Structure 1
Amino acid sequence: MGTTKPRVEHFGFIMNKVERRLTTTTNFLSHAGRLELVNSVLSSLPTYDMCTVQLPISVIEYIDRARRHCLWRGSDSNAKMKPLVAWKKCSKPKRKGGPGIINLRCQNSALLLKHLDKFYNRKEIPWVKLVWHAHYSNGDIPHATMDKGSFWWKDILKLCDLFKGIINCKLGDGSTVIFWSDLWNDNVMQSKFPRLFSFAKNKKISVLQFLSNNNLQSQFHLPLSEQAYQEYQRMQDYIQSIQVQQNTKDSWHYIWESSSHTSSKFYNFPYRNVQPPAPFLWIWDSKCSNKLKVFSWLLIMDRLNIRNLLKRKKHKLEGNNYNCILCIQNVEKTAFHLFFSCPFSQACWQHLNMHWNFQSDFFQMMMQLKQQYQNSFFMEIFIIAACHIWKQRNNFIFDRGRPSFSSWKCSFLDEARFQALRMSEDKHFVFLLRIDSFS
């Protein structure tokens, strides 16, 4: 890294590495295999650089484009196939309803915030001492002054707003904390006393400077309104108990109640209030292989390539026939019909003692059956059964095989016994006993 800001062409080696990983073998991988390639290889290639510098947006967009191609279109970057799921939904963590593909922009910011953590907590690191001495020795607050220093430090300072949103300062000498806008002692004065704040002369004054010169004429434009003066009196009562500790550094703690920065906690923090339907969590908690997990995730997202989805994408079929091929009811083949209400699939579920309540919505229907089923392997059995209903459909379309219950039952039992090998020894035995009861 030099003294000038890197241009896009300087990151060409990363983009070349990503492009070389899009080998022709991705055409032969399942969606689960491609997802693993995206998460384990393509997403990790720029990690080292993201720990140091802010990647240009065009570089991140190039890598995202390659990851999308890998996941949905294989190695052909010029393919015109549409993605099955929007990229924004693919970038959600697994515990929040997504497949866990990393959002590189958020990850880049999360990795760089560790530098602000070291800087504000004044860790015993040479560059921290150098920046404080070179730019802020006169008492300036870094996030209250104009950007100064190298291109690298200016990029780090741009993250101050993010940093301020997740930290709470425990006062030391108060020299690095803005009195009005920073969160300190669990309060933001600007929000606590909004009318008084509008009369403040210096809205970026430090806590140390405010408390050392705490008088009405010096700090506020006069005259105050009646409401502002009432807030001033309340503020005086509040700050009387506050004492700064000379020669003691301000310490910054995170609002998730930790004094140490971890990029994973910051990355997951924006999703803290996202509560996906329970079946999404059951998928990733199951003991099935990734191939089956990704299939079931696409099923619950209603993004499998069935005739109804092709119709929604304006894809014309021969004879405009979008009806289910596993039954003779002349019903349009939706995901719900194929896997739940079709007579063929109903026979499969009844064999497994699964009786769906079609009066409830989809997720409520699954949660009700899980409670009634009273079996810790409910999701494994559901995923394997649904996968082989799908294979019966594919066998009929692509191989002209005749779908039959006996064929589904045989493939279900074989797959279940194979998936049992992934379980711990105690669960393996119990699961096989359950599967053998369906023989």
Structure 2
Amino acid sequence: MEANPRNLFVVKDILTNFSLLSGLKINGSKCLFVPIQIPAASLPVFSQILGCAPVNLPITYLGLPLSIRCPRKIHFKPLLDAFQRKLDGWQSKFLSLGGRLTLIKSVLTALPLHYMQVIKLPPWLIKHLDSIRRSFFWKGAGKCLGGHCLVNWAKCCLPKKCGGLGILNLSIQNQALLMKWLWKLQKEPDSTWASTVNLLFGSRDIPTLLADGRTSAAFRDILHYNDFFSSSICNPGLPQQLTWKWSTIGEYSSASSYRILADPGMRSPYHILLWKIKAPPKVRIFLWLILLDRVLTQQNLARRNWPSITSCQCCSEGCMETSVHLFVHCTFAKQIWTQLQIRFNLPLLAFTTDLPAFWLQNRQTIGPSWDIIWAASSWAIWKERNSRIFASNRLTASRLVVEICATIEVWKKMA
């Protein structure tokens, strides 16, 4: 409101009448008013009229930083503190990759959504939040250096159908949420939001608003998404007939916008099959890693210049331990596949030169039942390999096949 005594008395009377009618008492000690470009000499008079104290911008309003200037780093400290509180309360070292992925999607990714609906997050903040999520996923605690990240974070943030883990890309989600205001501006001309914009700037036309020098930095950030927004609507200028191309019902939704913006156009040949395998989440993530050849075999350790024994520890052939060798061509692995072939009465297996082909080609001849056999066997081979290296324990192929069969029966009963 305009800072003059008459306006202040009107507001005070409205609040007093509301208090009398509702029986609710207004606590002046919990109220405040924000003076903008008001002489300091006038503040005591205004404070006496309103019965509350003045406070300068920036302030926190509805959980968000409110300022007439661009938010600074200090204004996002509550968000960063919320991340840290969550991380401090989790026993991250005892969580599997599946458990960490669930917490990232359901908790850490949800924390900044309140901010992202109103403010375009600065690049430094998105980079910092991504580093926290990345470190938590790959390492659990502490800083995550390049060698700890088995897959590029941008790849992890791709949708599952594109070969990623489906973790939300914060920058794209931010844009999808902010474009909701452009939709309301065009679709709902009688809404409070559209009416306020029209009153302040005399227009709801987005190009006109972009050219208006009075728009705030936060509002301009939203208006700059107009290129994608304009190309995604039909019947512009007709609010009653305005439709959103990417939604089946023609209404804007941040989910439909994110789906289009986050889709790079490529498709993974196995994404639908992989994430439907009846196995624990940590095993499905492990399978995703071996299909990308990102598990820490001796070959991949050597690529990272980590000290390691280059030869395969599951056979005596002295071969370099690669993913294909360990899970397909190793004599120990072949013994396991041969015994499983006899136990489950499978046709002859095709021992291909890459892991995706080994899974998919044998699936064509065996059928969907091959998925759980391949998953349980690959997981068991990896655990046996680690047991031989780090604990000096060795199981025979026959004993490991028994454990694989028991694992398959347990996984089949999973919901």
TM-score, normalized by the shorter chain, greater than 0.5: yes
Q: Aligned runs of 1:71-150 on 2, under 5 Å?
A: 71-77=137-143, 81-137=147-203, 141-142=207-208, 145-146=211-212, 148-150=214-216
Q: Does 1:15 align with 2:8?
A: no
Aligned to 2:327: 339
Q: Percent identity?
A: 27
Shift, 1:133, TM fit: 3.3
Structure 1 CA distance for aligned equivalents of residues 213 and 287 of structure 2: 49
Query: One-letter code of the match for 2:244?
Result: H
Q: Does 1:416 align with 2:408?
A: yes
Secondary structure at the aligned position of 1:128 is classed as helix
Query: One-letter code of the match for 2:385?
Result: R
Structure 1 CA distance for aligned equivalents of residues 352 and 378 of structure 2: 20
The answer (yes or no) to whether the contact 1:253–1:259 under 8 Å persists in 2 is yes
Aligned to 1:244: none
Where does the alignment leave 5 or more consecutive residues of structure 1 unmatched?
173-247, 424-439
Aligned to 1:315: 306
Q: Aligned runs of 1:139-288 on 2, under 5 Å?
A: 141-142=207-208, 145-146=211-212, 148-169=214-235, 172=238, 251-255=242-246, 258-272=249-263, 274-288=265-279
Structure 1 CA distance for aligned equivalents of residues 351 and 242 of structure 2: 56
Aligned to 2:18: none
Q: Could you tell which deviates more after superposition, 82-91 or 331-340? A: 82-91
Q: Structure 1 residues 360, 166: CA separation in 2 closer, same or farther (over 3 Å shift)? A: farther
Aligned to 1:175: none
Q: Aligned runs of 1:341-380 on 2, under 5 Å?
A: 341-353=329-341, 355-358=348-351, 362-374=355-367, 376-380=368-372
Q: Structure 1 residues 58, 139: CA separation in 2 closer, same or farther (over 3 Å shift)? A: closer
Q: Structure 1 residues 416, 110: CA separation in 2 closer, same or farther (over 3 Å shift)? A: same
Give me the TM-score of the superposition, normalised by structure 1: 0.72
Where does the alignment leave 5 or more consecutive residues of structure 2 unmatched?
1-60
2:286 pairs with one of 295, 298, 301: 295
Query: One-letter code of the match for 2:83?
Result: V
Query: One-letter code of the match for 2:324?
Result: F
Shift, 1:357, TM fit: 2.9
Query: One-letter code of the match for 1:294?
Result: I
Structure 2 CA distance for aligned equivalents of residues 98 and 272 of structure 1: 11
Query: One-letter code of the match for 1:126?
Result: T
Give me the TM-score of the superposition, normalised by structure 2: 0.76
RMSD: 2.5
Structure 2 CA distance for aligned equivalents of residues 249 and 75 of structure 1: 52
Aligned to 1:404: 396
**Structure with more contact order per residue of length (Cα contacts < 8 Å, sep ≥ 6):** 1
Structure 2 CA distance for aligned equivalents of residues 140 and 42 of structure 1: 34
Q: Structure 1 residues 363, 420: CA separation in 2 closer, same or farther (over 3 Å shift)? A: closer
Query: One-letter code of the match for 1:14?
Result: L
Structure 2 CA distance for aligned equivalents of residues 138 and 78 of structure 1: 46
Q: Structure 1 residues 153, 117: CA separation in 2 closer, same or farther (over 3 Å shift)? A: same
**Count of residues in correspondence between the two structures:** 344
Q: Could you tell which deviates more after superposition, 293-302 or 21-30? A: 21-30
Q: Structure 1 residues 139, 115: CA separation in 2 closer, same or farther (over 3 Å shift)? A: closer
The answer (yes or no) to whether the contact 1:277–1:363 under 8 Å persists in 2 is no
